[in-house]
Structure 1
Amino acid sequence: MDKSTMPAPFSSHHDWYTSTLSSLSSTDGIAATHLYTYRHVLDGFSAVLSKSQLDQVEKMSGYIATYPETFGHLHTTHTPRFIGLKKHAGLWPAARFGDDMIIGIVDTGIWPESESFKDHGMPPVPKRWRGACEIGTAFNISNCNRKLIGARSFSKSLKESGKIISEHDYDSPRDFFGHGTHTSSTAAGSQVQGAEFFGYAKGAATGMAPQARLAMYKVLFVNDTYESAASDTLAGIDQAIEDGVDLMSLSLGFDETTYTHNPISLGAFTAMEKGIFVACSAGNSGPDAYSIFNGAPWITTVGAGTIDRDYVALVTLGKGITTFKGKSVYPENLFISGVPLYYGQGDKSKEICDHQSLDPKDVSGKIVFCAFTNDSDPYDQRIEVNRTGAAAAIFATDSPQSLDPYEFSFPFVAISPNDGEKVKEYFASTKQPTADIKFQITILGAKPAPQVADFSSRGPAPLSPWILKPDIMAPGVDVLAAWAPNVPFAQVGNNRLSSDYILLSGTSMSSPHLVGIAALLKSAHRDWSPAAIRSAIMTTADVVDNTNGVITDMATGKPGTPLDYGAGHVNPNKALDPGLIYDIKVDDYTNFLCALNYTRQQMVAITRRLNYSCECATLDLNYPSFIVILDNTNTTSYTFKRVLTNVANSKAVYMAAVSAPAGMKISIEPSLLSFDGKGSTAEFSLTVEVDLEGYGMQQSYIGNYGYLTWYEVKGKHVVRSPIVSAYAPQPQQS
């Protein structure tokens, strides 16, 4: 309602609304029922009305708009549902929700008071646990419980390097930044009812493995930036191994020089050797090729994808002439109605709302529309429009999904260039253009999803391009998880807002998703090695989205490739029963390092072995994916040798099928494999020949791919591996 039209006799708009409702006639004798009067989120009320009563209200002075009631349902943070986890079927119950698994998170610390780390109903801490809860600034032993069973902090090297920890941060396991709290709750947070981010993504939040235990190893601290010393990081990994974690997740990275110079690569090798599964973020340096971090073959490297949940505002031009949605995460339940629309057409600088291009006299109190051009930038536009005192803004952009929730400190909505053209057409056809914008809308079932996040780092891996990286893609865009409430994350005007749960994007979010799923698999299959778990995840991954099309790349809008998303998007229920796995032993990784021509010093640094043999040196690991590195000749051919292990409880026969793109010829020998029972193995060879000249391909060509799929004869199992050809830089061999 337009409360400025409230008649003088009423002392409040509440009285006006209730009086209006009482005056409505009814054909069935049932009076209109008043529910709520809204005093802040909008000017109006909610009521139960018959159709005839609604018709009467819509004809009254002051009426603006009516919205029919909608119904929400309790959801998780939604990523468990999106990837198929269910309470009563599949991996969750089979793994007892990750019971008895211990996940070590190496990150910025943890906020132990979060509801996500409550231990209600959890059994005693496993007796094998050797960890501790360290006392430190604003942190003591009582902060740990049967969920958060360990917490330690590592800052000695950082301080010794002359880096002064900010007075705001805690020299203890307590999280100041919030990042570690977010990743921890994503991996193994307990179920929390009523989680939300300022009205968005409402529901019940839960981690991937809600019955698993958590141990935090804080290695990142605020100084000039957020940094972690390599030796502190390595100490954290080392302590996690000593404490007895079953899995680790690290959402941080170091420069990719050699594996000996990377504390994560070094520590993860030892963890793998002791049967500890390690997942790491692939990095946020996409969409450029060769931008992978944490690409060591003994690490499961995780890229980031979107989910089928969007946060939008509804834009209506005029009196319902045109309605469309755009991205917005403005943290208020705001409805702006009938506001004049401003568009500085004819002046290019005003069209795109460049710095100092708008006059406050022209736009104050209006909705400003900023058209799309190749030069437009929503970040700069937001600053400019906010400066002028406008009521709100509509920005046309080709990359609305790249806007982070914290950027919506001003009420604006980002729409597509096509919808931007509709705004132009409406403005040109109307003397007094107006618009409505309704904020704080969450949409489920958005399509297409998943998509490869534009920021997600892409392969090939700089240090070891012979191993396809990333390995897998998991949710990493606008993920709702716990946060440190002392850190404001949103803003309305000059008011900074805090929340117990926030939406965050990055491969930092995808790695804890994956480690939580790995915890479920390890709980269900205690005898599986880290390589077996990775293989099960990779060979059962999804390569199509929810439109049944090839997973697309947000950065280009075109179909992605395994260099973007690895083996595909994780499907945890399928990974529970993969049929066959590609296993890798410690000696196989040692042979791989030998083939890199690493010096004795380097070999010992990584493997800690004084006596080793390089007689079987090879770059061809028993990996669940294949990549051919092209040379400078017109034709490149390579033969891979692999061993498959049956992990099903029965005999089986598998038949091979290959799909190859133009310019790639794939042959397999043998094409039929027989397995006697669980634990039996079978070998095969796969030869890939790439002909560049015959298909007019250029030196810049990268990412042509096919698939090898093993189908169980008269069975249900399907084991799929990507086959990619690409140019890659030679790794550094210092």
Structure 2
Amino acid sequence: MSSSSHLEQHGSYIIHMDKSAIPAPFLNHDSWYASTLASLSNQYGNAPIHLYTYKHVLDGFSAVLSKSHLDQLVTIPGHIATYPEQFGQLHTTHTSKFLGLKNHAGLWPAGSFGDDMIIGIIDSGIWPESESFNDHGMPPVPSRWRGNCERGTEFNSSNCNRKLIGARSFSKAIKQLNLTISMPGDYDSPRDFFGHGTHTSSTAAGSRVENVDYFGYAKGTATGVAPLARLAMYKVLFLNDTLEAAASDTLAGMDQAIEDGVDLMSLSLGFQELTFADNPIAVGSFAAMEKGIFVSCSAANDGPESYTIQNGAPWITTVGAGTVDRSFLASVKFSNGVVTITGKSFYPEDLLVSGVSLYHGHDNASKNCENNSLDSNDVSMKIVFCSFNNKTKVDDQMEEVYRSGAKGAIFATDSAQFLFPQDFYMPFVAISPIDGGKVEEYLTTSLEASVDIKFQITKLGTKPAPQVADFSSRGPSKRAPWVLKPDILAPGVDILAAWVPNRREVPIGDDYLFTDYTLSSGTSMASPHVVGVAALLKSAHRDWSSAAIRSAMMTTADVIDNANGQILDLANGTSGTPLDFGSGHINPNKALDPGLVYEIKVEDYVNFLCALNYTSQQIKVITRRSNYRCDQANLDLNYPSFIVILNNTNTTRYVFKRMLTNVVDSQSVYRAAIWAPSGMKVVVEPMTLTFGSKYSKAGFTMEVEIDLSGYRAKTDYIGNYGYLSWYEVDGKHVVRSPIVSAFAI
């Protein structure tokens, strides 16, 4: 807000209070906080504005305050800390088949398709009329549910049903910060304007919908990962100039989700952080974890650089994005009838391109499609062939074709994998440089070159898949590098899911098309896949903790792709590492029966914070615990993965201590198997673990020694990794954990 000589600058703040310091006259904390705000004076007469009182995620409230209010607040007994408002950004159905989910075997029937599980989605709202949220055949809402369906702009209680059982909106903070929501910017209600929340919700738990497609691509039946699970939407993201979430609103949404009784949460957004104490998602998810709520979060889209992970708190399951075995193509046939090639395309119209002239420039074909290289008179009503040119980006070539007024284009490029549906706003086809060479050879022998193009082709079984998406953020975590992040990889590229039908989605020349279902990409799309799998696992194993669910997913994840090779990094075409994909790509059916799990207690996380040298104030902000004594500070969490943070010496040695828990109804014996690269020595003691009845435990130590001598640069060793696998003797279970090295920054 503006300031002047008679008006102080105001801002929104999150205030942490010590609940044990409540004065005797107050009957509850809400009245104490209200009285505290009322007591704050201001020489200009501007009163504080109360936003939210929090019940679960933190002890305290949020409010709009002036500088003089803040100065007074810190002197009030019971005040712990105040953090200024911050803003987070968002980070998208064949995937159920790609994940191996089947109607009559494996995790789907074992987890009752997610029945009775309630998933809270913290996002941009929901479009309740979408067929993905129909409640046909669903039983009554669980009696333990305490939430409701709020009324608001173009939204009322009748929009909820037995699938979408709750919908709320949290916008107080973003409104007070002069970002007032007004049409057509967004709906001041749980209704989704942008589409992101509708997409993530239907991915996690959408109902089965037949005959779904994206303008002729990806035709089939759409279904969420946990199709019988219930959904509750907590809208905290609002579209202004950008889609943003205020920290105060996000905490309020998470707080309400806990109060309402969700079993799981998924957040596909992130905040910048200096510590976990100033990150609203880290703070809110700690409270959720304490109450047995599984929390899945997107890893962010800042890859492929290292140390770009967000949502890296160890009590959060952090998810990276991978490709699936499905590609979208166009077939190009040339007039000689001999050369036929396929290339990537999402052009959304069943356009008949038959016998259309092919243009390839004049004197210097290598400069074809560079800026201002095409003459409108030459290319009108023709398909332009743009030669491979490593000096000109393919999107710049696309802009030149559009400027010239050509009918469409074929691009020879090595960047086709980085193109998204919205890039194909004209009849465009992206082919490989090798196929581009075939086209050039054809052009040299043809006087009247022409092409036929067939769009809307979907190919399944593409290999290799999965690959790590180039945009997916990479580890280690800047804030806690001693825990390997991301935890796991899940589908996050060209995911088909529900969308808002009244938003202009696909550009076609100067016009736009609308759609009920769209293809979207991001770690935003990966997180709801994992929360859906977690809902199935929680339904099948009601006594499993969030740590056990995460462990089951991690230790059974796939590290081999569908071409029987190592999972590749799409950014450079080379083998990925656990810094890219964590423990591997999620395999739901294997996670149903992991054999052993790594459990983590709440106190272990607190001791981890102590080892990070967090102050007592920061620990109190995150845990809401007063006077916690850090007598057992420990960076070595009982985590299902291992990371060695290297120093500047030639040798680094670290000893890990772990405890495994048996989760099957039988006795068992496991033996360790180690695979380690050159320069990494791994010793496990003991090499054999024996388990008695269900929930019996056995511990081991693992010493890892890294020898950096012989490497030209220490950075050459970053990402080198091995595996520790526990094989069940005379049994089927294999419990695998990655061991990776990295330098701290």
Instruction: Describe how 1:102-251 pairs up with structure 2 within 5 A.
Output: 102-168=118-184, 169-251=186-268
Q: Which residue of 2 aligns with 1:282?
A: 299
- Secondary structure, aligned partner of 1:699: helix
Q: CA deviation at 1:106?
A: 0.3
Bigger shift: residues 426-435 or 387-396: 426-435
Bigger shift: residues 489-498 or 541-550: 489-498
Q: Which residue of 2 aligns with 1:328?
A: 345
- Secondary structure, aligned partner of 1:439: strand
1:607 aligned residue (623, 626, 637): 623
| Residue 489 (1) aligns with residue 505 (2) | yes
Letter in 1 for 2:622: I
Q: Which residue of 2 aligns with 1:307?
A: 324
Q: Which residue of 2 aligns with 1:536?
A: 552
- The answer to whether the 8 A contact 1:491-1:497 is kept is yes
1:552 aligned residue (568, 576, 584): 568
- Distance of 2:494 and 2:354 partners within structure 1: 28
Q: Which residue of 1 aligns with 2:418?
A: 402
Q: CA deviation at 1:696?
A: 4.3
- The answer to whether the 8 A contact 2:727-2:734 is kept is yes
- Distance of 2:624 and 2:716 partners within structure 1: 40
2:359 aligned residue (329, 332, 342): 342
Once the two structures are superposed, residues 192-228 of structure 1 have per-residue CA deviations (whole angstroms, 9 ceiling, x without a partner) of 0111111111111000000000000000001121111
- The answer to whether the 8 A contact 1:311-1:329 is kept is yes
- Secondary structure, aligned partner of 2:340: strand
Instruction: Describe how 1:430-449 pairs up with structure 2 within 5 A.
Output: 430-449=446-465
Q: CA deviation at 1:375?
A: 2.0
Once the two structures are superposed, residues 622-648 of structure 1 have per-residue CA deviations (whole angstroms, 9 ceiling, x without a partner) of 000000001000011101000000001
- Distance of 1:608 and 1:252 partners within structure 2: 24
Q: CA deviation at 1:697?
A: 4.6
Q: Which residue of 2 aligns with 1:688?
A: 704
- Secondary structure, aligned partner of 1:448: coil
- Distance of 2:616 and 2:402 partners within structure 1: 60
Q: CA deviation at 1:495?
A: 2.5
Instruction: Describe how 1:494-643 pairs up with structure 2 within 5 A.
Output: 494-643=510-659
Q: CA deviation at 1:229?
A: 0.4
Letter in 1 for 2:476: P
- Distance of 1:547 and 1:166 partners within structure 2: 51
Q: Which residue of 1 aligns with 2:66?
A: none
- The answer to whether the 8 A contact 2:467-2:567 is kept is yes
- The answer to whether the 8 A contact 2:321-2:492 is kept is yes
- Distance of 1:719 and 1:342 partners within structure 2: 57
- Distance of 2:580 and 2:432 partners within structure 1: 24
- The answer to whether the 8 A contact 2:616-2:627 is kept is no
Q: Which residue of 1 aligns with 2:269?
A: 252
- The answer to whether the 8 A contact 2:413-2:430 is kept is yes
Letter in 2 for 1:260: A
Letter in 2 for 1:596: L
Letter in 2 for 1:272: M
Q: Which residue of 2 aligns with 1:3?
A: none
| Residue 412 (1) aligns with residue 428 (2) | yes
Q: CA deviation at 1:399?
A: 1.7
- Secondary structure, aligned partner of 2:714: coil
- Secondary structure, aligned partner of 2:119: strand
- Distance of 1:286 and 1:471 partners within structure 2: 15
1:264 aligned residue (281, 288, 294): 281
Q: Which residue of 2 aligns with 1:293?
A: 310
- The answer to whether the 8 A contact 2:554-2:584 is kept is yes
2:496 aligned residue (452, 459, 480): 480
Q: CA deviation at 1:343?
A: 1.4
Report the TM-score, using the length of structure 1 for normalisation: 0.88
Q: Which residue of 2 aligns with 1:426?
A: 442
- Distance of 2:350 and 2:297 partners within structure 1: 37
Once the two structures are superposed, residues 22-60 of structure 1 have per-residue CA deviations (whole angstroms, 9 ceiling, x without a partner) of xxxxxxxxxxxxxxxxxxxxxxxxxxxxxxxxxxxxxxx
- Distance of 2:221 and 2:608 partners within structure 1: 45
Once the two structures are superposed, residues 240-289 of structure 1 have per-residue CA deviations (whole angstroms, 9 ceiling, x without a partner) of 01100000000000003211111000000000011000000000001111
Once the two structures are superposed, residues 564-620 of structure 1 have per-residue CA deviations (whole angstroms, 9 ceiling, x without a partner) of 100000000000000000010000000000000001110100010003221110111
Letter in 2 for 1:196: D
- Distance of 2:439 and 2:110 partners within structure 1: 52
1:385 aligned residue (393, 398, 401): 401
- The answer to whether the 8 A contact 2:498-2:518 is kept is yes
In the TM superposition, structure 1's runs of 4+ consecutive aligned residues that sit over 4 Å from their partners are none
Q: CA deviation at 1:165?
A: 1.9
Q: Which residue of 1 aligns with 2:478?
A: 462
- Secondary structure, aligned partner of 1:488: coil
Letter in 2 for 1:328: S
- The answer to whether the 8 A contact 1:108-1:218 is kept is yes
- Distance of 1:362 and 1:702 partners within structure 2: 52
Q: CA deviation at 1:378?
A: 2.1
Letter in 2 for 1:132: N
Letter in 2 for 1:438: K
Once the two structures are superposed, residues 328-372 of structure 1 have per-residue CA deviations (whole angstroms, 9 ceiling, x without a partner) of 000011231222211126536732x12222101111111111122
- The answer to whether the 8 A contact 2:182-2:188 is kept is no
- The answer to whether the 8 A contact 2:394-2:415 is kept is no
- The answer to whether the 8 A contact 1:186-1:481 is kept is yes
- Distance of 1:616 and 1:322 partners within structure 2: 70
Bigger shift: residues 689-698 or 118-127: 689-698
- Distance of 2:464 and 2:335 partners within structure 1: 30
Structure 2 unaligned spans of 5+? 1-92
- Distance of 1:289 and 1:141 partners within structure 2: 45
Q: Which residue of 2 aligns with 1:42?
A: none
Q: Which residue of 1 aligns with 2:717?
A: 701
1:719 aligned residue (710, 723, 735): 735
Letter in 2 for 1:124: P
- Distance of 2:292 and 2:223 partners within structure 1: 26
- The answer to whether the 8 A contact 1:279-1:301 is kept is yes
Q: Which residue of 2 aligns with 1:73?
A: none
Q: CA deviation at 1:161?
A: 1.1
Letter in 2 for 1:108: S
- Distance of 1:547 and 1:253 partners within structure 2: 34
Letter in 2 for 1:607: T
| Residue 452 (1) aligns with residue 468 (2) | yes
- Secondary structure, aligned partner of 1:424: helix
Provide the aligned C-alpha RMSD in A: 1.1
- Secondary structure, aligned partner of 2:518: strand
- The answer to whether the 8 A contact 2:600-2:637 is kept is yes
Once the two structures are superposed, residues 266-324 of structure 1 have per-residue CA deviations (whole angstroms, 9 ceiling, x without a partner) of 00000001100000000000111111010100000000001111100011223322111
How many residues are aligned here? Answer: 652
- Distance of 2:512 and 2:744 partners within structure 1: 46
Bigger shift: residues 262-271 or 414-423: 414-423
Q: Which residue of 2 aligns with 1:17?
A: none
